[in-house]
Amino acid sequence: MDTRLIDVHDDEVCARAYDVIIASKDHQRPWHQPPSLAETLVEWRHVDEAERMEMWGAWDGDELIGVATIWLPMSDNTSMAWHDVQVDPAHRRRGAGSALLDRIVARAREESRPTLVTDLMVPADADDHAYRRFAEKHGYHLSNTEIMRHLSLPVAEDLLGTYADRARARWEGDYRLETHVGGVPPELQPSLCAVMNQLAVDAPTGDIDFEEESLTPERYEEYLELFRQQGRVRLTTVAVHEATGDVVAYTDLMLPSGAPSVAWQWGTLVHKAHRGRRLGMAVKVENLRRLQTDHPERQRVVTGNDDTNSWMVSINEDLGFRIVELCPAYQRKL
Ligand SMILES: CC(C)(COP(=O)(O)OP(=O)(O)OC[C@H]1O[C@@H](n2cnc3c(N)ncnc32)[C@H](O)[C@@H]1OP(=O)(O)O)[C@@H](O)C(=O)NCCC(=O)NCCS
């Protein structure tokens, strides 16, 4: 099994790499709705100074049968390397996954990254699933488990109205809610970035030791441009503290262009000093309402929450999210 770096500017190799990754991610997951090749290529070809990315292929003769991706954060969490290994289901159990993982471990050593983190998608009732066995065989241990839930749309307006009203009674007067399409305006970006940077340290992540992130307004704008090029729509609802004009809570939905029936729930966070006012529920309901009004083609929201994050999980369960699968994170210390 030969492993070689994938040239992200080679259209033919990229198309095959995309097919391998999607065949692997689709395997036994009929609900999976992947982004298109076009939007994926934009991401692969975008050079992110804050996070270097490399893709490695496993070739059996001249056939590409597996792809590993490694991400190296450059401005925070610099002792870490996250990665993903996907092998075409028709070519599994022949050593491609192991060859790719060996390559990733070698690259992490070369880059002086002692902490390797990866996550898997497995059924909720399979503790000894093949993907877990693969990770454990290679010296990884289970560090954290996110539960993946889906919400069928539309959610009844009277349910949303009830939760919105109950929340409003707790925050009204001190905050205002704003929903923005394609990113928040420049005056809100510094405080939004500060709140977003708390997510990795505030949300429970098991025994993975994340540092605070270092998103800046410049990089936030760069990502907005990337999403525009991908044809993606980002819906962001923020709570602004009237006294200071700062964003103190946010939630983000991302609408992929190539998977027109789904919306991905990205981060939601309420700043520590402003918790207990139902701002989390308030921003989520407001964002969902905008999603339903402006994008009736979206039939499902996909989200993942740490199984110990009872606060976020209870909001999601109230809104009607239901468990579909698990996303355990595995870690290896070199
Ligand atoms: C996990 C995955 C990468 C393995 O790829 P692969 O090419 O089949 O892996 P290998 O052939 O190198 O298998 C190595 C070892 O993993 C374990 N393993 C892999 N598949 C297994 C299965 N179906 N049942 C039990 N053990 C399995 C075995 O210990 C195997 O060694 P063995 O064949 O000598 O018994 C592949 O199934 C996949 O793409 N899964 C989806 C994505 C994923 O979960 N990636 C893991 C990220 S770390």
Name every residue whose Cβ is closer than 8 Å to that of residue 15 and which is 6 or more positions away in sequence: 37
Question: Which residue among 134, 143, 326 is best mutated to probe the pocket of ligand 1, counting the most ligand atoms within 8 A of its Cβ?
Answer: 134
**Is 118's C-beta closer than 6 angstroms to any atom of ligand 1?**
yes
92 is written with which tokens? Answer: 């599994």
Q: Kindly report the three-state secondary structure assignment for every residue of the chain.
A: CEEEECCCCCHHHHHHHHHHHHHHHHCCCCCCCCCCHHHHHHHHHCCCCCEEEEEEEEEECCEEEEEEEEEEECCCCCCEEEEEEEECHHHCCCCHHHHHHHHHHHHHHHCCCCEEEEECCECCCCCCCHHHHHHHHCCCEEEEEEEEEEEECCCCHHHHHHHHHHHHHHHECCEEEEEEECCCCHHHHHHHHHHHCCHHHHCCCCCCCCCCCCCCHHHHHHHHHHHHHHCCEEEEEEEEECCCCCEEEEEEEEECCCCCCEEEEEEEEECHHHCCCCHHHHHHHHHHHHHHHHCCCCCEEEEEEECCCHHHHHHHHHHCCEEEEEEEEEEEEC
2-113: CATH architecture = 3-Layer(aba) Sandwich (3.40)
Per residue in 177-210, pLDDT tens? 999 999 999 999 999 999 999 987 887 778 888 8
Q: Give the side-chain half-sphere CA count within 13 A for 287.
A: 32
The per-residue pLDDT for 64 is 98
Question: Which residue among 93, 131, 143 is best mutated to probe the pocket of ligand 1, counting the most ligand atoms within 8 A of its Cβ?
Answer: 93
Integer Cα distance of 106 and 269 in angstroms: 36
Cα–Cα nearest to 174, from 219, 236, 239: 239
> Any idea which of 195-199, 282-286, 300-304, 311-315 has the lowest mean pLDDT?
311-315
Domain ranges of the chain: 2-113, 149-326
Per residue in 201-255, pLDDT tens? 887 778 888 888 889 999 999 999 999 999 999 999 999 999 999 999 999 999 9
Closest ligand 1 atom number to CA of residue 330: 48
Sign of the CA dihedral running 11, 16, 21, 26: positive
Average pLDDT over residues 112-119: 97
Average pLDDT over residues 65-86: 97
Per residue in 134-160, pLDDT tens? 999 999 999 999 999 999 999 999 999
Average pLDDT over residues 14-33: 98
CA 87 to ligand 1 centroid distance, Å: 8
pLDDT over 70, % of the chain: 100
**Is 122's C-beta closer than 6 angstroms to any atom of ligand 1?**
no
The per-residue pLDDT for 257 is 97
Integer Cα distance of 67 and 84 in angstroms: 8
pLDDT at residue 92 is higher than 80: yes
Per residue in 43-74, pLDDT tens? 999 999 999 999 999 999 999 999 999 999 99
Answer whether 0.85 is exceeded by the pTM: yes
pLDDT at residue 18 is higher than 90: yes
CA 60 to ligand 1 centroid distance, Å: 16
The per-residue pLDDT for 171 is 97
Closest ligand 1 atom number to CA of residue 87: 39
Q: CA of 68: how far to CAs of 97, 114, 207, 324, in Å? A: 8, 18, 24, 25
CA 124 to ligand 1 centroid distance, Å: 18
| Closest Cα to atom 18 of ligand 1 | 134
Determine contact, residues 232/182, Cβ cutoff 8 Å: no
149-326: CATH architecture = 3-Layer(aba) Sandwich (3.40)
The per-residue pLDDT for 1 is 86
